[in-house]
Structure 1
Amino acid sequence: CCSKYGYCGTTNEYCGNGCQNEFGICFSSSSTTTGKSKTTTVKVPISTVSDRCGPNFGACAKSNQCCSKYGYCGTTNEYCGNGCQNEFGICFSSSSTTTKKSKTTTKKSKTTTKKSKTTTKKSKTTTKKSKTTTVKVPTSTVSDRCGPNYGACSKSGYCCSKYNYCGKTDEYCGTGCQPKYGICK
């Protein structure tokens, strides 16, 4: 069987859920007996590359680590927060930020002919502040490389070119420069 991660084998990890039947045989994902279904859980292989994770590597080797959206293992918010890949490690629960608009209500005065009665209600304004969390991009572990597959330039003051290389000239810092992974002019 060919697992969803591209590895060959004969156990449920390879032949069960996510098995690629175009590259080998597969077990059915569930079998029905007496009206109840049996679900098979596929265990993700552990990464053999130190501190790397994701579809090309597997799960983080340490069970208490998170797999960042860039494919690196760690335990801080950079790894466990926004974009964390929960198939390959643990993740912090995602918190949603909501901003409520203020609402103003005013009732008009009411007059009757028998007795004059005027009622005015004061308007109430409620504003809730939103919380913004900035996630720092991990630094690249590959010399002079940067971008979505590598992370930020490892040298301070360097630009990340549109071709995912770090440098200081206009070729790197000009058109197509990626400010998320280094400085740009």
Structure 2
Amino acid sequence: MWKLTTSFPRKIITTTRTTTTTTTTTTTTTTTTTNTTTNTTTKSPSPTINTSYRCGKDFNNKSCSKGECCSKYGYCGTGSKYCGTGCQASYGRCNDGGRCGADYGKCLNDKQCCSQYGYCDISDAHCGSKCQSEFGLCYGSHDKCGEQYGRCKDDKCCSKWGYCGTSDKHCKNGCQPKYGLCK
């Protein structure tokens, strides 16, 4: 007798299961900020003397040094650019153009002299003896004129070489109108 044996290939199925565990940790940090506000009340802004040459309402109410004007653009100085139209009187002096000296500063017209009494003009009384040269022009000495020497006396012209006189060489080509007459 024969014995029949059947053999079938067996397939073994192996199932592998991978389990991944993800752990998420959330950390919450709480920050507490405390703001402290201090209110200071002053009766009015008190001007401080300006050391940076800026002044006025747009520059922390800074005032100019004594004798200086605060221009409409907030700069300290003397002369028409600072003391004339738009000058901020609350932060320095302002000048109507007629006064000069320690209390008023320079003459607004840079061709004028400052008299011993603090008035601006081009007369002998203003430009001669006791003229205040730091606040305006004064007559030159030894018939010299110009930035270093000042204005010519009387009706003289200041030449381009810095000498006072009445000739065409003094009064025409190169004449300095700030320091004398010119033709």
TM-score by length of 2: 0.31
Whose Rg is larger? 2
TM-score, length of structure 1 as denominator length: 0.31
